[in-house]
Amino acid sequence: MKSLKFIVLFFAVISIQLQAQSPDGYDLWLGNSAIEVSEFEKEYKTFTTSVYFQSDSEMLTVAEQEMKNGLEKMLGQSLDFTKELNSNSTLIVAKKNALKTEILNSISSDFDKLGEEGFIIKTIKVKGRKVLLVSANSDNGILYGVFRLLHLMRTQVSLSEINLIDAPKVDIRMLNHWDNLDRTVERGYAGFSLWNWQKLPEYIDQRYIDYARANASIGINAVSLTNVNANALILTPMYIEKVKALANVFRNYGIKVYLTARFSAPIEIGGLETADPLNASVQTWWNTKVSEIYKEIPDFGGFLVKANSEGQPGPQNYGRNHVDGANMLATALSPYKGNVIWRAFVYSEHDDTDRAKQAYAEFVPYDGRFKDNVLVQVKNGAIDFQPREPFHPMFGAMEKTPLMMEFQITQEYTGFSTHLVFLPKLFEEVLDSDTYQKGKGSTVAKVIDGSLHNNKITGVAGVANIGTDLNWTGHPFAQANWYGFGRLAWDPYLSSNTIADEWIKATYTTNKEFVEPIKKMMLSSREAVVNYMDPLGLHHIFDTGHHYGPGPWVNNLSRPDWNPVYYHKADTEGIGFDRTPSGSNATEQYAKEIEKLYNNPKTIPEEYLLWFHHLPWDYKLKNGHTLWDGIALKYQEGVHQVEAMITTWENAKSFLSEEEFNEVVMLLKIQLKEAKWWRDACLLYFQTFSQRELPEGVEKPKETLEYYQSLKFPFAPGIRPRWN
């Protein structure tokens, strides 16, 4: 008997060690390796001597399992969870309604702050003994509390005096997958789509469960499964059954499923002759379709719609407008409390005004006309997910419409999944921007969380960077972008510094010697990509179609606003897009305070300079350099920043397994090569206009401009497939 015990123990230890060493990244930030020599290990063990977990629902059973697995792996011992809450309990995980009065008395007012999804983690005294309590008003809150507690232990935070109350500030915290039914992913760089439509509904891949766990651990509570360049087939019964199978998995993790609705679906799969939103039979078709969906998926979230944008069908095909289209779908969804998320990413081939102005011009007049269950989803900037964009002026202009933020987590314009770019830094910059809509302090975060305008419903969406790659995101550090997105959707006031800190500690180690330099590297990585791709407000100068690499020279596309030359406007005089009153006057879409600041090249923050101004090559920057020299030096700085990232990573080697270390080294080397490629190609091209030498300190390009222009990448990943 004794020897059997020994063998079991021996294998348990081995498996803990393997877990700790598993470097493939599949565990994300949830790797529950045995806690390294931790000053809190004793404390955690004391708190887990007798655990009571209220598990009287499916969701709570899932949460209990998560907790048990996590604790056992971290503490390296098996734990007994008691069925009864008793006087020996050291850790109590239970909803408010299951707590005894003596406990409730000490915390009852806290529950008012929790809403439907918040939780409390608090050490309380029961009869002179310390007890750790995780509580909430709902199952959902408990689930989030469990994940947070495990995170706190994983990142070695003392629990002995903990008093944490946390609740999400945003209602819909959503991933948008741009996944096609053939499993390709538009702008996806991490393999194929997770959704194995052919094997669904019967075959439930473990990945679906682990994906849901990861999302729940950071508070993501909604996913749109399909590409916004939509295929109507997803709304047919065969696919609804498959979607139902996924929804059944996700439900226990508090996640609602949304689908993208192709506006012309009534024609394509319904046999109607029109999709006119004001046509009664079209409305009836959608009503019926929605009721079919809710019959199978009672908590279905609703539709995400890209309409009359980049060739997608929409209400304008019938002389109607966005309000008509969105409200028609909202009418169908509202009996079930479903939502319409209507995208504002529109710019028209028939409109030759500045593309940056078009969404605002089209949507702002509709403020107040959308139904209550419509949210308008706006990209963070007015062009398209560039490494840096000023915040979208719509965020300061629609008081009566819930505006949902759309960030891009997948790195379409920031180096695919080969570049280490920590995007929460970008997200934070946008959320912290002041719209001045209701005076100073009217930040985008306050628009998004509804506090500025008292919105009844709020949301944040991120275009997912997840696929079938073993580590989910391609680049191990791209996991931090998924993580950080979720954290910011939960609390748009979190700092990127805090997020990086949490992620590094949960993913690698809590050792300061590792955490501090790696954090510094992550936090500077976003500025690096801006510098080596789009310094000083340059934008949209990537190559055609696949968007891989530089293409500032491209000028032959059918629509002017698809050509990079439209955006940089380089000529022998200078460079930049004049969006002041002497140009397109896009600045007038911002509040007066910003307009004034931005109209003047001397007062605009220089990171936006060429976004709003066309300036001579000899224009003097704040640091005394001419514009030409300044651009060149920024490109060079970006390259140096990547070199510094490599050094940082090399110095961290002793904390990493061979595999973990090498994987990132190889990726950083590609990043360096591509940073140089961007620098050289852009500078050689712009030099044909500036006619000036490269300043001292900027490396001479190794190739000619013609060489860079000749590069072709017909098989670059993430390329747009045929849409229908």
440 DSSP 8-state letter: T
| Count of residues near ligand GCW by CB under 6 A | 12
Q: Is the dihedral of CA 147, 149, 152, 154 positive or negative?
A: negative
Distance of closest approach, residue 242 Cβ to ligand GCW, in angstroms: 22
> Is 607 annotated as catalytic?
no
Among 96, 173, 187, 289, binds ligand GCW (CB under 6 A): 187
Distance of closest approach, residue 286 Cβ to ligand GCW, in angstroms: 22
Among 117, 186, 595, 637, binds ligand GCW (CB under 6 A): 186
- Separation CA 60–CA 253 (nearest Å): 10
- Separation CA 177–CA 700 (nearest Å): 41
What is the CA angle 632-635-638, rounded to 5?
150
Distance of closest approach, residue 345 Cβ to ligand GCW, in angstroms: 5
Nearest CB to ligand GCW, comparing residues 178 and 286: 178
What are the CA-CA distances from residue 476 to residues 28, 32, 514 (Å)?
9, 17, 16
The partner residues of 381 in beta bridges, in order of sequence, read 391
Q: Is the dihedral of CA 285, 287, 290, 292 positive or negative?
A: negative
Residue appearing with tokens 């019938």:
318
Distance of closest approach, residue 411 Cβ to ligand GCW, in angstroms: 12
In terms of C-beta density within 10 A (0-12 exposed, 13-18 middle, 19 or more buried), how is residue 322 classed? buried
Distance of closest approach, residue 379 Cβ to ligand GCW, in angstroms: 7
Distance of closest approach, residue 275 Cβ to ligand GCW, in angstroms: 19
> Is 84 annotated as catalytic?
no
> Is 578 annotated as catalytic?
no
Q: Residue type at 661? A: F
Nearest CB to ligand GCW, comparing residues 53 and 413: 413
Of 72, 241, 310, 432, catalytic: 310
Of 171, 384, 406, 502, catalytic: 384
Q: Per CB under 6 A, which of residues 633..692 are in contact with ligand GCW?
A: none
Nearest CB to ligand GCW, comparing residues 345 and 391: 345
Nearest CB to ligand GCW, comparing residues 195 and 385: 385
What are the CA-CA distances from residue 88 to residues 100, 128, 131, 177 (Å)?
14, 12, 9, 47
Distance of closest approach, residue 408 Cβ to ligand GCW, in angstroms: 8
What is the CA angle 539-464-486, rounded to 5?
100
Distance of closest approach, residue 346 Cβ to ligand GCW, in angstroms: 9
Nearest CB to ligand GCW, comparing residues 186 and 561: 186
The partner residues of 340 in beta bridges, in order of sequence, read 303, 374
Q: Per CB under 6 A, which of residues 378..407 are in contact with ligand GCW?
A: 384-385
- Separation CA 405–CA 175 (nearest Å): 11
Question: Would you tell me how many other CB atoms lie within 10 Å of the CB of residue 554?
Answer: 19
SS3 588: helix
Nearest CB to ligand GCW, comparing residues 117 and 384: 384
Distance of closest approach, residue 326 Cβ to ligand GCW, in angstroms: 16
Nearest CB to ligand GCW, comparing residues 464 and 609: 464
Distance of closest approach, residue 654 Cβ to ligand GCW, in angstroms: 41
- Separation CA 512–CA 531 (nearest Å): 29
47 DSSP 8-state letter: H
Nearest CB to ligand GCW, comparing residues 227 and 418: 227
Nearest CB to ligand GCW, comparing residues 329 and 594: 329
Q: Per CB under 6 A, which of residues 297..356 are in contact with ligand GCW?
A: 306, 310, 345
Residue appearing with tokens 């599949």:
26
216 closest CA partner among 59, 69, 338, 408: 59
- Separation CA 178–CA 200 (nearest Å): 19
Q: Per CB under 6 A, which of residues 194..233 are in contact with ligand GCW?
A: 228-229
The b-or-e profile of 372-389 (16+ CB within 10 A means b, else e) is ebbbbbbbbbbbbbbbbb
Nearest CB to ligand GCW, comparing residues 306 and 322: 306
| Nearest residue to the partner ligand GCW, using Cβ | 384
Half-sphere exposure for 321 (CA within 13 Å, toward CB): 11
Among 213, 369, 620, 720, binds ligand GCW (CB under 6 A): 720
Of 27, 186, 362, 412, catalytic: 412
Q: Per CB under 6 A, which of residues 404..463 are in contact with ligand GCW?
A: 412
Bridge pairing between strands 222-224 and 256-260: parallel
Per rule CB under 6 A, is residue 178 in the interface with ligand GCW? yes
CA gyration radius for the chain? Answer: 26
Taking a C-beta distance cutoff of 8 angstroms, is the pair 394, 363 a contact?
yes
Number of helices and strands (H, E) in the chain? 22, 16
Q: Per CB under 6 A, which of residues 539..598 are in contact with ligand GCW?
A: none
Taking a C-beta distance cutoff of 8 angstroms, is the pair 698, 683 a contact?
yes
Q: Any idea of the CA torsion for 690, 696, 700, 706, to the nearest 10 degrees?
A: 0
Residues forming the site for ligand GCW (CB under 6 A): 178, 186-187, 228-229, 306, 310, 345, 384-385, 412, 720
Catalytic residues: 310, 384, 412
